[in-house]
């Protein structure tokens, strides 16, 4: 449905809207999620969290779990390739009472897939069924699965995989419309979203389907909803450097004009991001973590390359501000 609308999950849970922030390892930490919520995200995901790491009580792994400020509803995304540690990991996850627990069946990174986790789960539909069943039984928390079209072109099994997840009790599905072999390029195959939605409808299933893949601008979200008839969209790389993409998409879906940003707005967003990071981490960590976002914010701003170079070496907030002061920003909307 091409509109901004709530997503019904269970009698006890309706998500307030259909514009989601994707899980992005190394990016969707609590401060970035906070910014995206301020920018209009209706529902957010932690980056993927290792079940093995939780079971081992790894400090860095456990640190990924808490909510961001004002994050009323969020999903904790888990990755696992076998059931052995799941129950002990869930005991820790439950302490945070996430709105949803999401299972990663899409990560293509060999370090993850060689353990049977991430997109390797797609080779094992009975296992996803069992994982979902155990999570629901053990936690009572709504459970979702994020998966791909298949392991590779020859083994595209997303319909069968969705069926298995649903049989296990899944409450929401997200399809990243690429195979594992495709990684993150080239184009996502949105027609698979249409096929899956049709497949579910034929079975009389109303489980919400969220789409992921090539949502770089707000307009892409509108187009995906229009072309595929799915229930919601999940911004991933499109939100990096533009955490207000959600509000932009919302405006378009409400028939309003897209609120465009000036270069000044972008620089201000960058600084807000930096200060938000500093609210969660120490200043040096905040400045270091900020580096991977700079390019996104400065994209489209003329002559930003030199400033980008200086900012990348900045170790204090003041040094960032100094570097950005050298930018000639206009009030043109970009």
Q: Looking at 61, 99, 104, 113, which residue binds ligand FMN (CB under 6 A)?
A: 104
DSSP 8-state code for residue 156: B
Task: Confirm or reject binding of residue 24 to ligand FMN (CB under 6 A).
Answer: yes
- Tell me if residue 163 falls in helix, strand or coil: helix
Q: Name which of residues 146 to 175 contact ligand FMN (CB under 6 A).
A: 146
Task: Count helices and strands (H / E) in the chain.
Answer: 14, 11
Task: Confirm or reject binding of residue 113 to ligand FMN (CB under 6 A).
Answer: no
Say whether 107 is catalytic.
yes
| Active-site hit among 36, 107, 192, 287 | 107
Backbone phi, psi, residue 291, to 5°: -55, -40
Is the Cβ–Cβ distance between 65 and 35 less than 8 Å?
no
> In 3D, which of 157, 132, 158 has the Cα closest to residue 145?
132
- Rounded to an integer, what distance in angstroms lies between the CA atom of residue 231 and that of residue 298? 32
Q: Which residue stretch of 100-108, 121-129, 159-167, 273-281 sits at the interface with ligand FMN (rule: CB under 6 A)?
A: 100-108
Q: Which residue stretch of 101-109, 124-132, 244-252, 259-267 sits at the interface with ligand FMN (rule: CB under 6 A)?
A: 101-109
Q: Which residue stretch of 61-69, 104-112, 280-288, 305-313 sits at the interface with ligand FMN (rule: CB under 6 A)?
A: 104-112
* Residue 186, preceding peptide bond in cis (omega within 30° of 0): yes
Task: Confirm or reject binding of residue 71 to ligand FMN (CB under 6 A).
Answer: no
What are the tokens at 95? Answer: 């302490």
Q: x/- string (CB under 6 A) for ligand FMN, residues 293-322?
A: ------------------------------
Helix H segments across the chain? 30-38, 51-55, 59-62, 86-94, 110-113, 125-139, 158-168, 191-202, 218-228, 245-253, 263-280, 283-298, 305-312, 317-325
Shortest gap between Cβ of 49 and ligand FMN (angstroms)?
A: 9
Q: Looking at 48, 165, 244, 263, which residue binds ligand FMN (CB under 6 A)?
A: 48
Task: Confirm or reject binding of residue 213 to ligand FMN (CB under 6 A).
Answer: yes
Q: Looking at 238, 241, 243, 296, which residue binds ligand FMN (CB under 6 A)?
A: 238
What are the tokens at 118? Answer: 């991430």
* Residue 282 burial (C-beta neighbours within 10 Å; 0-12, 13-18, 19+): exposed
Shortest gap between Cβ of 51 and ligand FMN (angstroms)?
A: 13
Closer to ligand FMN by CB, 74 or 323: give it. Answer: 74
Q: Looking at 96, 237, 258, 299, which residue binds ligand FMN (CB under 6 A)?
A: 237
Q: Are strands 100-105 and 143-150 parallel, antiparallel or unpaired?
A: parallel
Shortest gap between Cβ of 142 and ligand FMN (angstroms)?
A: 17
- Tell me if residue 281 falls in helix, strand or coil: coil
Rounded alpha-carbon distances, angstroms, from residue 229 to 21, 132, 202, 222: 19, 26, 14, 11
Q: Looking at 176, 180, 197, 266, which residue binds ligand FMN (CB under 6 A)?
A: 176
Task: Confirm or reject binding of residue 239 to ligand FMN (CB under 6 A).
Answer: no
Task: Confirm or reject binding of residue 77 to ligand FMN (CB under 6 A).
Answer: yes
> In 3D, which of 113, 106, 124, 144 has the Cα closest to residue 13?
144
Q: Name which of residues 182 to 211 contact ligand FMN (CB under 6 A).
A: 184, 188
How many residues touch ligand FMN (CB under 6 A)?
Answer: 22
- Count CB-CB contacts under 10 A for residue 242: 22
Q: Which residue stretch of 19-27, 260-268, 293-301, 324-332 sits at the interface with ligand FMN (rule: CB under 6 A)?
A: 19-27
Q: Which amino acids are annotated catalytic? A: 107
Site of interaction with ligand FMN (CB under 6 A): 22-26, 47-48, 77, 104, 106-107, 146, 176, 184, 188, 212-215, 236-238
């Amino acid at each position: 449905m091409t509109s901004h609308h709530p997503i019904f999950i269970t009698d006890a849970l309706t998500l307030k809207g259909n514009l989601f922030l994707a899980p992005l390892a190394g990016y969707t930490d609590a401060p970035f999620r906070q910014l995206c919520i301020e920018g209009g995200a209706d529902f957010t995901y932690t980056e993927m969290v290792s079940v093995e790491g939780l079971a081992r009580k790894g400090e860095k792994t456990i640190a990924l779990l808490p909510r961001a400020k004002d994050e009323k509803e969020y999903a904790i995304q888990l990755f696992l390739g076998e059931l052995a540690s799941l129950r002990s990991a869930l005991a820790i996850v439950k302490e945070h009472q996430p709105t949803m627990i999401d299972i990663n069946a899409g990560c293509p990174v060999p370090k993850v897939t060689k353990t049977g986790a991430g997109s390797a789960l797609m080779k094992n539909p009975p296992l996803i069924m069992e994982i979902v069943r155990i999570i629901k039984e053990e936690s009572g928390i709504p459970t979702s699965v994020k998966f791909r079209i298949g392991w590779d072109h020859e083994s595209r099994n997303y319909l069968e995989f969705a069926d298995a997840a649903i049989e296990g009790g899944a409450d929401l599905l997200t399809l990243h419309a690429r195979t594992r072999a495709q990684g993150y390029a080239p184009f996502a195959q949105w027609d698979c979203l249409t096929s899956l939605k049709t497949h579910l409808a034929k079975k009389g299933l109303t489980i919400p389907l969220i789409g992921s893949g090539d949502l770089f601008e707000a307009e892409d979200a509108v187009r995906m909803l229009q072309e595929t008839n799915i229930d919601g969209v999940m911004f991933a790389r499109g939100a990096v450097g533009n955490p207000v993409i959600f509000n932009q998409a919302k405006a378009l879906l409400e028939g309003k004009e897209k609120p465009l940003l000036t270069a000044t707005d972008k620089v201000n967003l960058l600084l807000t991001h930096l200060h938000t990071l500093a609210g969660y981490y120490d200043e040096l960590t905040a400045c270091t973590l900020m580096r991977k976002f700079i390019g996104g914010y400065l994209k489209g701003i003329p002559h930003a390359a030199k400033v980008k170079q200086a900012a990348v070496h900045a170790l204090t907030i003041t040094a960032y501000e100094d570097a950005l002061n050298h930018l000639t920003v206009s009030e043109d909307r970009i």
